[in-house]
Amino acid sequence: MITLKDFIDWITASLVIISGALAGHYVALGMTPVQWAGAAAAVLGSVALAVAVRVWPMKLGVGQRQQD
């Protein structure tokens, strides 16, 4: 069964791949330095989001214990 945490992990990993691929595609077509900066910010933002959801602690429900 896929949990919400697994789903979010896959979505953020997909976001990193898609944003990197789109940035690389448009770089190959030719972009201005301002557009390069925007593409780099988008890729770094998606990487930061992917890291944040993996590092951020999950809220535990009633009756659940944290497993080490």
pLDDT for 31 equals 93
- Give the pair of three-digit tokens for residue 27: 């770089």
- 10-residue mean pLDDT profile of the chain (68 residues): values are 88 96 94 94 95 82 63
Asked if residues 66 and 13 have their Cβ atoms less than 8 Å apart, the reply is no
pLDDT at 3: 85
The predicted structure's pLDDT at residue 9: 92
Alpha helices in the chain (DSSP H): 4-29, 33-55
pLDDT recorded at residue 56: 84
- pTM of structure: 0.76
> Which residues, at least 6 apart from 42, have a Cβ–Cβ distance to it below 8 Å?
19, 23
